[in-house]
Each structure stands twice: as C-alpha cells, then as structure tokens.
Amino acid sequence: MIAGMWIRSTMAYRASFVMTTFGNFAATALDFVAVLLMFSRVDRLGGYSLPEVAFLYGVSATSFGITDLVVGSMDRLGRRVRDGTLDTLLVRPAPVLAQVAADRFALRRLGRVTQGLLVLAYAIAVLDIDWTPLRVLMVPLMLLCGAAIFGAVFVAGGAFQFIAQDASEVQNSFTYGGTTLLQYPPTVFAKDLVRGATYVLPLAFVNWLPGLYVLGRPYPLDLPTWIAFTPPLIAAGCCALAGVAWRAGLRSYRSTGS
C-alpha cells in the first residue's frame, strides 16, 4: 500500500519518471560497458570468456536489482534514525520493516532489473550450455535466492544503522560492492577474498557457486558439486539471521527526544 502510494506520486510526473528510469538503466549499464571495454582489448578475464562473464554479471545484477526494487530504501534509515522521523513509522499500524522497505519506493529502479535481464538474456543466447532440466531450473532459482541473500544483507545493514547512524556507506560497500565483486569470475580474486565471500558473507551463493554449475566450470576453493544446490538453505539462513539483527536493532532505537 505504501509502495502504491509512492508509485502514484512518481507517476504524477510521467516525463520525469521516464527520464529517471532511463537514467537508472544507463547508470547501471556503465558497469557492463566497462566489462565490454575490457573485452575489446582482451579475449579472456581470469580465464573466462565474455559470454561467461556476462552470465555471472547478469545473474548478479538481476538479483541485486530485484532486492534494490524491494528494499533499496534501506540506506535512508540512518537519516530517519538521526532526525527522529522514524517515530512516524513506529506509530503506524504496519510492520516497521515493510514501511522502511517501501519508503520512497521507486519504480524507476526497474531500470536496474531490466539491464541485468538483458545482459543475462544475451549470455544465455550466446553461451553453448548443455541444458539439463536441473540447469534450466537453476537459473530462476539463482535469481530468487540471490535476491533473498542480497535482501538479508540490506536488512542487516539497516539494523546496523540503528547503532551507527551516519554509516550508510558501510552498507553500500557490502551491497553495491558485493554485486560488483560477483560480476567478475572468482578466479580473478585472491583466495582469501573468495573465502570471505563464501564463508563469512555468503555472497558466493548468489551466482558463483550455482552459476559455475550451469557453466560447467570448476568451483573455487575445491568445493564439492552438491554445494551448487545449497543457495535456498543459505538464503533462508541469511534471512533468519538478518531478521534477528533487525529486531535487535529496532529494540535499541531511542528517539531523538526533540
């Protein structure tokens, strides 16, 4: 309902909506333009070809785009905690998390999802994949679980902002930084960074582990094959943890007193 309200308010300025959606599309497409520019000079990056990188990029960008569409306003929470306007949300008869998520719900963020899907479609069209039913199923599963994992990171980041009010940028480095990391093959990065993205902040489950199964590539860190099928479990675990963190954060909230 709150999301609907924000949609109606942006639709009041249709030209502006079209412009900002396109702008959003173009701004996020720049990442992929960088990849294209790199491949204009080299044939492989970390041993991966352009369509393979595009596949990883497409999955990461689309699932991140879905998350951004749903809970992308989470980084505004710090400001709300600081200036005390979070109080308005607390007295309304709706879950605070849902309200924060829908805060300034911006349909223009569809630009990001569209861009990710286009790159993914290109990759799937060009790649020569031996499609088994499992591999076909894996693609939508990756997008959903990936969005859930990113969502958990967003919510946990929001919970963190209850404590550190001005630090929304720290959250950005895990969300935006995370999606940038996943846009490149794991072979590019140092082992410790890949380990961190697997065991500490399980971003590798968004696209690296299930994606490499689809591409038929060896896994990083000598992980077993069945690990490709664990993203739903990991996603559920992350969401549960983020929920606990969110409750703790919300309980620690003291208003500004002004």
Contact present, 95 and 247 (Cβ < 8 Å): no
Binding mask 184-213 for other proteins (x = CB under 8 A): x--xxxx--x--------------------
* Of the residues 1, 37, 91, 200, which one makes contact with other proteins according to CB under 8 A: 37
Residue 173, interface with other proteins (CB under 8 A)?
A: yes
Per DSSP, 43 falls in state S
**What is the Cα–Cα distance from 249 to 251, expressed in whole angstroms?**
5
Task: Tell me whether residue 138 or residue 202 sits nearer to other proteins (CB atom).
Answer: 202
For 23-177, strand residue ranges (E) read: none
Query: Which tokens in the block code for residue 224?
Result: 């077993």
* Contacting residue, 20, 60, 62, 207, with other proteins by CB under 8 A: 20
Contact residue for other proteins among 4, 46, 84, 95 (CB under 8 A):
46
Structure token pair of residue 165:
């009010």
With CB under 8 A as the contact rule, which of the stretches 24-32, 61-69, 87-95, 219-227 interacts with other proteins? 24-32
Please say whether the beta carbons of 56 and 208 come within 8 A: yes
Task: State residue 45 phi and psi, 5-degree precision.
Answer: -130, 115
The residue (of 139 and 194) whose beta carbon lies closer to other proteins is 194
Binding mask 151-170 for other proteins (x = CB under 8 A): -------------xxxxxxx
Beta bridge partners of 45: 48
Torsion 235-164-245-83 (CA) sign? negative
- Cα angle 13, 112, 26 (rounded to 5 degrees) comes to 75
Of 69 and 139, which has the nearer Cβ to other proteins?
A: 69
By CB under 8 A, is residue 43 in contact with other proteins? yes
Interacting residues with other proteins (CB under 8 A): 16, 19-20, 23, 26-27, 30, 33-34, 37-38, 40-46, 164-170, 172-174, 177, 180-181, 184, 187-190, 193
